[in-house]
Amino acid sequence: MAPLTGCDLFDRDDEPTPPPDPLRSMVDESLSLVAAYRASAAAHPDLADRLNPIAETHTAHATELARVVGITLPSAPAVDPSATAATEPAGALADLRAREKAAQQSATAACAAAPAARAALLGSIAAARATHQEALK
């Protein structure tokens, strides 16, 4: 019996592209928070010492999430049109608190849905976001 050759019936590359990693949105959210903090710090230099360390925390979160997801972060931060700062410092802080609250809720939901290997990372991010809300009061 002669072997079959030249048949590509089983050698096709029609596999569908896998869906994006569910944590991809967490990367984007962290980068959006960085942009919001940077915009507020630039608009209100008197708040920069308070806001820049929190922005750096969000940068670290985005970096670690990107590593877990297997993507590379952009070398230059993307411009986020929603990252404009309020004209008054109190308004900027209130806006950042609201962003942190929404981000904490999404991190908590992601943590609850994540496999155990990712839950610790997401739980620590949710906790950091809760702490940030307090630091902005």
Token pair belonging to 57:
């925390």
Amino acid at 8: D
pLDDT digits (tens, 9 = 90+) for 3-46: 555 555 555 566 788 888 989 999 999 999 999 999 999 999 99
Q: What is the pLDDT of residues 76-119, one digit of tens each?
A: 665 555 567 788 999 999 999 999 999 999 999 999 999 999 99
In the DSSP assignment, the letter for residue 80 is: -
* Residue 125, H or E segment: helix 116-135
Residues 6+ apart with CB under 8 A from 60: none
Say what the pTM is: 0.82
